[in-house]
Structure 1
Amino acid sequence: MTIKEDQQLSNSEYLDSRYVASNGDDPIHEWFRSFEHLQPFLGKNLLEQPGRAAQDNPKVLHLGSGDSVVPAELAGRGYKDQLCDIAGIEWKRVDVRDMPTVSTGSIDVAFDKGTLDAMIYGSPWSPPDEVKENTSRYLKEVHRALKDDGVFLYITFRQPHFMKLLLNPDNIWNMEMEVLGDGGTFDYYGYVIRKSKPQ
């Protein structure tokens, strides 16, 4: 993929044109991993977590859900307080770098599977200033929206040594990462990111 093609992924109009072809029941493209592949990670960090289990009714913010089936799978497991595009679930179309309709400190779980990655293009060693600015705005906005005990679950294919600098340049997060391998040749990474506690 060329830098120009990679850069197109950061354009909402480009992505909208792809999703227009989806019928809603059958996604045209499930980015990165299916719900089935993510279930062990989500089980540990969402489904089985006290305060985040379905019966606790946590507010889940899907950051760029596209036509992923993850929101529907969570709804089927009892997660009704989700911000995304699915019948019976509240839907808000916003720029993830500026979400004025999402109240400060209102989100229990923020979930990203491809949105942040779509903002990143160019050299991983020295990302363009635009990439650093957009990712910083996005992450500060997620930080603002999360409750103090909230969690940001982030799935990426990008190597951790490149991502850690983009994810936490202002040292506002505590991060844990696990490899989401399935024996294939291409690993994915699951981050569990929490607000840093004030010193």
Structure 2
Amino acid sequence: MPEEYVVKRTTMPQYGECEYWDERYSREPAAFDWYQGFTGLQTILQSVYPMDSVLLQVGVGSSRLQEEMVRAGWRSIMNIDYSSVVIKHMSDLHFGVAGLEYRVADVRHMPEFLASSFDGVLDKGTLDAILCGEKSASHAAAMLKECFRVLRPGCCFMLVSYGDPSSRLPYLEALTGWDITVFALTKQEVVEALDAEPVVRPLVKGEV
């Protein structure tokens, strides 16, 4: 008798859709840091952002990075996300914490912020999420264009990504005027498993 198999089609989570994140944050309100926490990023953050910088973190989600940053001495971090669910949660969580502000906003179009408003823009996983959605290329380009617009000349946009540099650099290089440096960081789970210090090492720009 022939064996029978049932094949179920699986779909990738819609990381690029606001509805996905609203539902997820309603279901999982606990704080969660994608990719890296403050420990893994501290060295780079301190090298590119003076403590008195006015910073913008895009796609903040339920990260605790910004909380750790203000406790370490940074004075002003605006945190945005297009999920009103998570912004309400994080605003309540950090109510009264000086230096932190939360606002519902779409990184692809941020008319609420004037050009050259920030001394630094930080993205930890948002570009990756956009690239998992529909019209990913155009949405990624819109996001980076807006990040470039609100960033003061000479200041730094910091992108934390799981993507290989060869898959992310073309999006950055499409915008003129960016001097790009690529670093490799020890994965957060490895650092935690080994109870070790993260290793930050520069990579050659482009393919590695």
Which residue in 2 is equivalent to 1:45? 48
RMSD across aligned positions (CA): 2.7
CA distance in 2 between counterparts of 1:189 and 1:12 reads 32
Q: Structure 2 matches for 1:35-114, cutoff 5 A?
A: 35-46=38-49, 52=50, 54=51, 57-84=52-79, 85=91, 86-87=94-95, 88=97, 89-114=100-125
> Within 2, Cα distance between the matches of 1:68 and 1:117?
15
Amino acid of the structure 1 residue aligned with 2:22: D
Task: Give the TM-score, by structure 1 length.
Answer: 0.75
Whether the aligned pair in 2 keeps the contact of 1:157 and 1:189 (CA below 8 Å) is no
SS of residue paired to 2:179: strand
DSSP-derived class of the 2:39 partner: helix
Name the amino acid aligned to 1:137: A
Q: 1:32 deviation in Å?
A: 0.7
Work out which of the two has the higher radius of gyration on C-alpha atoms and give 1 or 2.
Answer: 2
CA contact (8 A) 2:117 2:150 kept: yes
Alpha-carbon deviation of 1:75? Answer: 1.4
Post-superposition shift, 1:189?
9.1
- 2:38/2:69 contact within 8 Å kept: no
- Residue from 158, 161, 164 that aligns with 1:159: 164
Q: Matched residues in 2 for 1:138 and 1:72: separation?
A: 24
Say if 1:21 and 1:144 are closer, same or farther in 2 by CA, change over 3 A: same
Post-superposition offset of 1:174: 1.4
SS of 2:104's equivalent in the other structure is coil
- Structure 1: which 5+ residue stretches go unaligned? 47-51, 123-127, 192-199
Partner deviation per Cα, 1:81-122 (whole Å, 9 max, x = no partner): 111254342221111000011111010010110111001138
Number of equivalences? 169
Runs of 4+ in 1 over 3 A off after TM superposition: 188-191
Task: Give the counterpart letter for 1:175 in structure 2.
Answer: I
Equivalent residue in structure 1 for 2:25, among 11, 19, 25: 19
Q: 1:115 aligns with which of 108, 122, 126?
A: 126
SS at match of 1:40: helix
Q: Partner residue of 2:206? A: none
Which residue number corresponds to residue 5 of structure 1? Answer: 12
| Cross-structure match for 2:179 | 174
Matched-pair identity in %: 25
In 2, the alpha carbon distance for the partners of 1:105 and 1:39 equals 25
1:21 Cα offset (Å): 4.1
Aligned to 1:147: 152
- Once residues 111 and 24 of structure 2 are traced to their aligned partners in structure 1, the CA distance between those partners, rounded to angstroms, is 26
Give the Cα separation in 1 of the matches to 2:38 and 2:10.
29
Structure 2: how far apart are the matches of 1:134 and 1:190? 30
Distance in 2 of aligned mates of 1:69 and 1:79: 14
